[in-house]
Amino acid sequence: ARVLPKASDGDTKISLLWLTKRMRKVVNAEIVANSTSTVLRTEVFKWVAGVGMALEVEAIMPVLHHLLAPLVREMITTEEKNAPLRQLSKEVANLIKNKVGMEAYTSTLSRLQRTLS
């Protein structure tokens, strides 16, 4: 499958694009199934922070849209019960912004906000 493309040296490597899309599906499934629970969203946001810290900018840029989408969705909510999750999403987004630079971050952020509005 596309998830594990064969590398030239015989090793298999997991696709980062597939993983980020899968994490988005996890977030969306939690929101649909049980919007009061924030466990999966919290863990996905922490995973995004880890990816942002571990990878170089060149590896992050192709999946930046997918990394930021769940964060932006949470940042624009105004429900008071999700304040800790909103704060976490802002912290992770700030980490990503510092990694990829202001220009790439703001262009991706504005596209996502237009899509969600």
Q: What is the CA radius of gyration of the chain?
A: 15
Place of tokens 């999946």: 63
- The pLDDT, as a whole number, for residue 1 is 41
Residue 4 lies in a domain: no
Task: Tell whether the model's pLDDT for residue 6 goes beyond 60.
Answer: no
Residue 7 lies in a domain: no
Residue 3 lies in a domain: no
* CB 90, CB 75: distance < 8 Å: yes
Residue 6 lies in a domain: no
pLDDT grade for 5, boundaries at 50, 70 and 90: low
The residue among 77 and 110 whose pLDDT is bigger is: 110
**85-92 average pLDDT score:** 95
- The pLDDT, as a whole number, for residue 35 is 83
**34-62 average pLDDT score:** 94
Residue 10 lies in a domain: no
Residue 53 lies in a domain: yes
**pTM, rounded to two decimals:** 0.84
Count of domains forming the chain: 1
